[in-house]
Chains A and B, each alone.
Chain A
């Protein structure tokens, strides 16, 4: 059709590219610095806090955690609160807001349509999702450390006798695991639903509905700790970190059901959904 470009291309074809028979130049990206998780996780962390909404959310998590602990100490009688006690209070604002952070990290790409750019620069969507998951976990970990420091400070200040007696490595690990599980659940629901309002509503409504269902229908009562995530996590939420083996099993099973499954399904959806 057009004779000009053909000859021009032939002339500009690199003579060194042996074995290429095509008239068009080959693209060789083997020498380009690769983009891996060590690049993408810092990028995702940056994206989580480089907007006003993101910064406020992180600030709110830290401030509310500190405020919750301070408030409890202020209204309690001296020497009443132990560290495990205070940790469970610190967990409340975190439990509400960390998942939102996880949800926004994912759904923001769709609602703000930045997925178009993100996936153009990193075609491996699983890599992007992994980076988001790791970034959410790192942010949650930072919040957990903040909560533990706040609770420890408050325990020391309130002067409770043996205030640290009920806090062992297990307590700390369980507390951290619960918060991390929570943020992963947020990421999972974000991946599954891809829309901010939907993901946030479903994240809060679905477990509540499940909880009501399992506690009001007598026939389901026995199954509740194994199927309902709020029932299973009840002791932890109440500051009782000394779980039996069975209770641990229930936390794990509901975790698989409420976090593992949505994560798998969400991963599948987000890596295949058409980006427009």
Chain B
């Protein structure tokens, strides 16, 4: 539903978002994952037209967000749960939303019930809301227009474990009914339990994307942690087989599967005291990929002079 193509936003010489492309699909939750300052929020603001892209396009169902009639009825947006007037009550905030989208007032009560905000809480002023209540209200606001697409920036931020569980169930249910969800987070564990697809972003660039299963498996080749009685001999043996290794802890980290390491050790009659998979949770992938973009950062400087020709050039 959401189709992002070569989206770029520069602030002076700094590219906050640098030629990102991805699509999200109905019936699936797409996690938009990256460290703080990676460009997630800027990208999301561009998708809904709050920030003008320097280049590239973003469409929802083939239409630019700005061209959607009464967009709240089609795309539910929560960019910042704290971005509401302190002096309004939760109910008033939803009522303004409903009135703007030309929805009946009954929708407000329905949504308050959906996010489990009590009548008493709904009459409290926004400044007296906890972060978790603000997130619930923000979700209620995004769902008001019964949209087919949800775009949520850090929706789990500030939720307690029960709240995160609730959010996960709500979004999964929403996607199961055919909805499209794009949600961002800087915390992997928040995303991996709910997302079907992942888009990893670091330093404004997409460093990996795909469905959760294929990204998380590490292709079985990831890494092994091994300790031998003679680590040096093992490292030498591995090197002869073309397997890279480096010291880690009491042993070695090998860039190969555990089976490969075990085979090499057996062939060279080396005694292992410990052998286990050192891979490749998504977390490692996440850290590794985002770290590598940070190391690569200097090499992107040569792209600045040729803004129009860098499309698709990197990688």
Q: Is the CB of B83 within 8 A of A12?
A: no
User: Do B63 and A27 have beta carbons less than 8 Å apart?
Assistant: yes
A contact face: mostly helix, strand, loop, or mixed: loop
Contact A121 B209 (CB under 8 A): no
Tell me which residues across on chain A come within 8 A of B257, comparing CB atoms: none
**Residues of chain A within 8 A of B84, CB atoms compared:** 112-114, 117
Complex contact B60–A121 (CB within 8 A)? no
Are B60 and A27 in contact, CB atoms less than 8 angstroms apart? yes
Interface string of A50-76 (1 = CB under 8 A from B): 111110000000000000000000000
**B26 A25 Cβ-Cβ under 8 A:** yes
Q: For residue A4, which residues in chain B have a CB less than 8 angstroms away from its CB?
A: 211
Chain A residue numbers with a CB within 8 Å of B52 are 272, 274
A43 touching B60, Cβ below 8 Å: no
Q: Which residue of B lies closest to A275 (CB)?
A: B50
Task: Please state if A29 and B3 are interface contacts (CB–CB under 8 Å).
Answer: no
For residue A170, CB closer than 8 A to chain B, the reply is no
A27-B68, A112-B85, A274-B50 are known contacts. Are A40 and B100 too (CB-CB below 8 A)?
yes
A34 touches B70 (CB 8 A): yes
Say yes or no: A114-B3 contact (C-beta < 8 A), given A1-B211, A124-B66. no
Interchain CA distance A26-B148 in the complex, whole Å: 11
| Contact of A269 with B by CB under 8 A | no
* Residue-wise interface mask of A (11-22) relative to B, using a CB-CB cutoff of 8 A (1 in contact, 0 not): 010000000101
- Choose from B50, B83, B85, B214 the contact partner of A1 (Cβ within 8 Å): B214
C-alpha spacing A113/B134, complex, angstroms: 14
Task: Kindly state whether residue A33 has any CB partner on chain B within 8 Å.
Answer: yes
Contact of A32 among B49, B69, B141 (CB under 8 A): B69
Among A2, A12, A40, A114, chain B packs the most CB atoms within 10 A around the CB of A2
The contact string, 1 if C-beta is below 8 Å from chain B, for chain A 92-116, is 0000000000000000100011101
Contact in complex: A12, B73 (CB < 8 Å): no
On chain A, the number of residues with a Cβ less than 8 Å from chain B's Cβ atoms is: 48
Instruction: Determine the distance from Cα of A223 to Cα of B35 in the docked complex, in whole angstroms.
Output: 59
A53 to B66, CA, bound (A): 32
Partner of A50, one of B51, B82, B88: B88
Task: State how many angstroms separate the Cβ of A5 from the closest Cβ of chain B.
Answer: 4
A220 proximal to B (CB < 8 A): no
Chain A contacts for B60, CB-based, 8 A? 27
Beta-carbon nearest neighbor of B3 in chain A: A24
> Which chain A residue shows the least CB distance to B11?
A274
Tell me, in angstroms, the Cα distance from A114 to B83 when the chains sit together: 5
The distance from the CB of B197 to the nearest CB of chain A, in whole angstroms, is: 6
Contact yes or no, B70 A123, CB < 8 A: no
Contact A9 B25 (CB under 8 A): yes
Q: Is the CB of B86 within 8 A of A112?
A: yes
Does B90 belong to the interface (CB within 8 Å)?
A: no
Q: How far is the CA of A32 from the CA of B211 in the complex (A)?
A: 33
A 114-148 contacts with B by CB, 8 A: 114, 116-124
Instruction: Say whether, besides A9-B25, A27-B60, A114-B83, A120 and B50 are in contact (CB < 8 Å).
Output: yes
Please name 27 pairs of A and B residues whose Cβ atoms are closer than 8 Å in the assembled complex, sorted by A.
A1-B209, A1-B214, A5-B27, A5-B196, A8-B27, A24-B62, A25-B61, A29-B70, A29-B74, A32-B70, A33-B102, A35-B101, A39-B99, A42-B99, A51-B87, A113-B82, A114-B83, A117-B83, A120-B48, A120-B50, A120-B71, A120-B72, A120-B77, A123-B48, A274-B45, A275-B50, A276-B51
Interface residues of B (CB under 8 A from A): 1, 3, 23, 25-28, 45, 48-52, 60-63, 65-66, 68-74, 77, 79-80, 82-88, 92, 96-97, 99-102, 141, 148-149, 178, 196-197, 209-211, 214
> 8 additional contacts, CB 8 Å, given A25-B1, A120-B50?
A5-B25, A8-B27, A9-B26, A26-B61, A29-B69, A29-B74, A114-B84, A116-B50
